[in-house]
Amino acid sequence: MPTSAEIATDKTKTSVAKFEDFFSSDKYKDKIFEALEKYPDERSIVVDYTDLEMFYADLADLLIEKPEEVIKAAQKAIRNIDPLKKNADLNIRFEKIRNNIQLKDLRSKYIGKFVAVDGIVRKTDEIRPRIINATFECRSCMRLHEVKQQTSLINEPAICQECGGRSFRLLQEESEFMDIQYTKMQEPLENLSGGEQPRQISIILEDDLVDSLVPGDVVRITGSYKTVRDEKTKRFITYIYGNYIEPLEQEFEELNITPEDEKEIRQLAKDPEIYNKIINSTAPSIQGYREVKEAIALQLFGGSAKELEDKTRIRGDIHILIVGDPGIGKSQMLKFVSKLAPRGIYTSGKGTSGVGLTAAAVRDEFGGWSLEAGALVLGDRGNVCVDELDKMRAEDRSAIHEALEQQTISIAKAGIMATLNSRCSVLAAANPKYGRFDQYKSIAEQIELPSTILSRFDLTFVVEDKPNIENDKKLASHILKIHKDHSIHFEIEAELLRKYIAYARRDIHPKLTDEAISVLQEFYVGMRKGGAEDEDSPVPITARQLEALVRLSEAHARIRLSELVTYDDATRAINLQQKCLKQVGLDPETGKIDIDKVEGRTPKSDREKMRLIPQVIKELQDEYGDQAPKSIILTELKERLNMDEEKAESMLDQLRRAGVIYAPKQGYYKVV
């Protein structure tokens, strides 16, 4: 009766013979010989698992169960059929294997098996050498021994065959090494539900697979699921020994849209009420706020990103900021978007650091540094919702400047210099620092955000909680109905809406028509005309708002699944932007829209007052003996410039910080 070792040897011989047949087939013969000719510059050959399954189904099944044995047999088969007799050790990489497992479902039953897992790369460590053929020298007789190494732990010869000695010295220069890199993968965010913690797993990449991943990449990794015992903790740690890396599209397109779904989506797009249906299906648990919901719907569809000939990239993603009183459902809107949008991420400014948003440099187990991706990198090609943006520390807020406009994140820390992609739409919410919004003050005075961040949002909404009998009645009825029935009326079901958005983003790339260009140009020039004719007029809008209008117009066209941006699309975009500008950009003193007020800078009317205040102080200095009393300054400013005490004190403080005036003693001011 044959022993188990003999049975295994027979199986290996059979596997090698089958692979020789397979590699000699028309599809792979030329491929193999081409790779052998380029060896060692080219070190891998990619095999389609479905081809192997059609050729030898039992061999394909055996690959899943005993991957290492089968891969070794395949390598031996290539050496056998090599006419050049190079003894090439080609890597055999298998794509499209059927054993695709979710990270959360990886259990002990898969140990030793060939699996494929999808996920987001969280961090990649430095590339290090691993010894594969170690040369040892016997300390007694100097005889050399070659030992093949299977793991990172050095395996010495048991005994010297020449003199029987047991003491050896490793000759590193004579040994053969291979590149190795450790990386960490996290399961896709769309696979999570509720408060689930995303699973992570370590991946080992070797040889030509190293340096092929960066944090934020969404990939499918095929490899052997293994376990090793940690000598410190005495626990078993699982990892995947990588065999093949397949990049996945990092967009809404991850959703599977069937021909039936496509037919339903196309039918839905023909509905003349499609705009209203989509707006009403956006955060349906919240009553009212139509303009905000319209903006969120447009953000989900997005505009078209463009790459110019000089490699400049113009973003297509729409950024929205919602500033409003507490308790109006801002956080709920953000949560809705993060759940509806595939690759949607929700984070709160209070609990998020700058590196949590961008990328962190972390020490690896060998003491080196590696990058770990943050929320804006993981949300690449998706939506990132940042609640309580104003509660972030100033040094952390600065981390999102580049991500909002250039949509990249540049890292230069711990000796690592890298640029990561952050092509995501940002939906942010902030609360006024005095509890409720004051329409007579600029946004910058009420939320602690610098103008450099405020200017990067395409739309800024102010949502106030004002008592209104009719609206309050509708709101109360809506809330109580939800509490009674535990149900919400969807005009378009959430899953269909997800597919509709995914389909539009994947297949529809609208272009501006001459009509749309004409109406956008007319609006932009018309708005700036007042500022050009009158020197005292504020600047109403800038080129940034024009680019925002283009994105909004394209998103409107995408809602209709139209490849052309029409006059109506441009008009709708203009109307929405005008509502925003009137809310946050109208200067009550001049009655005109001032873009500086929208973007958190000093409005034109205030700049004029700042220019006049030092003159007033200079006059009072001459009258009161070189120092002007603060109380007299405040009275004069109220009479001459109609400034209330709070505003006047704020401006005096700004001028003092700017070095225009100073306080020689408490209660007195003097012009420098």
Domain boundary among 61, 95, 129: 95
CB 382 within 8 A of CB 419: no
User: Nearest CA to 399 among 439, 340, 440, 356?
Assistant: 356
User: Nearest CA to 488 among 334, 276, 283?
Assistant: 283
Greatest Cα pair distance in the chain: 119
Domain boundary among 597, 625, 649: 597
Confidence of residue 251 (pLDDT cuts 50, 70, 90): very low
Is 80 exceeded by the pLDDT of residue 298? yes
Residue 123, Ramachandran bin (φ over 0: left; ψ between -120 and 50: alpha; else beta):
beta
Same domain, 297 and 383: yes
Q: What is the pLDDT of residues 461-500, one digit of tens each?
A: 887 766 656 665 666 665 666 666 656 667 778 788 888 8
Minimum mean pLDDT among 90-99, 131-140, 275-284, 589-598: which range? 589-598
Between CA 476 and CA 473, with CA 580 as vertex, the angle to 5 degrees is 10
Is 80 exceeded by the pLDDT of residue 18? yes
Structural domains in the chain (count): 5
User: Nearest CA to 246 among 371, 113, 119, 342?
Assistant: 119
> Looking at residues 559-588, what average pLDDT do you find?
82
Q: What's the pLDDT at 483?
A: 61
Same domain, 69 and 213: no
DSSP three-state, residue 24: coil
Burial status of residue 88 (CB atoms within 10 A of its CB: 0-12, 13-18, 19 or more): buried
- Cross-strand bridge partners of residue 95: 48
Domain boundary among 223, 248, 273: 248
Same domain, 313 and 399: yes
CATH number at residue 583: 1.10.8
Confidence of residue 363 (pLDDT cuts 50, 70, 90): low
Token pair 């793991």 is found at 151
> Looking at residues 130-150, what average pLDDT do you find?
83
Q: What's the pLDDT at 1?
A: 45
> Looking at residues 228-248, what average pLDDT do you find?
82
Is 70 exceeded by the pLDDT of residue 3? no
How do beta strands 168-170 and 128-138 pair?
Answer: antiparallel
Domain membership of residue 271 (yes or no) is no
Domain membership of residue 471 (yes or no) is no
CATH number at residue 647: 1.10.10.10
Is 60 exceeded by the pLDDT of residue 94? yes
Q: What's the pLDDT at 5?
A: 44
Same domain, 292 and 429: yes
Print the domain residue range for 526.
Answer: 511-597
Q: What is the pLDDT of residues 574-620, one digit of tens each?
A: 888 888 877 766 555 555 665 555 555 566 666 677 777 777 777 77
Domain membership of residue 272 (yes or no) is no
Is 80 exceeded by the pLDDT of residue 287? no
User: Nearest CA to 584 among 572, 576, 593, 575?
Assistant: 593
Two structure tokens written together for 30: 């030329």
Q: What's the pLDDT at 7?
A: 44
Domain membership of residue 260 (yes or no) is no
Between CA 78 and CA 87, with CA 82 as vertex, the angle to 5 degrees is 80
Minimum mean pLDDT among 129-133, 139-143, 660-664: which range? 660-664
Same domain, 660 and 553: no
Burial status of residue 150 (CB atoms within 10 A of its CB: 0-12, 13-18, 19 or more): exposed
Same domain, 517 and 502: no
> Looking at residues 206-220, what average pLDDT do you find?
80
In 358-406, the DSSP E strands lie at 359-363, 369-373, 383-387
Same domain, 12 and 129: no
Distance CA 44, CA 89 (A): 9
Same domain, 374 and 419: yes
Same domain, 416 and 290: yes
User: Nearest CA to 126 among 411, 363, 377?
Assistant: 363
Domain membership of residue 269 (yes or no) is no
Same domain, 532 and 490: no
Domain membership of residue 227 (yes or no) is yes
Q: What is the pLDDT of residues 389-435, one digit of tens each?
A: 777 777 666 677 777 777 877 777 666 777 777 788 888 888 877 66
Domain membership of residue 377 (yes or no) is yes
Minimum mean pLDDT among 253-262, 266-275, 277-286, 378-387: which range? 253-262
Q: What is the pLDDT of residues 499-554, one digit of tens each?
A: 888 888 888 889 989 999 898 888 888 877 755 555 555 566 677 888 888 999 99
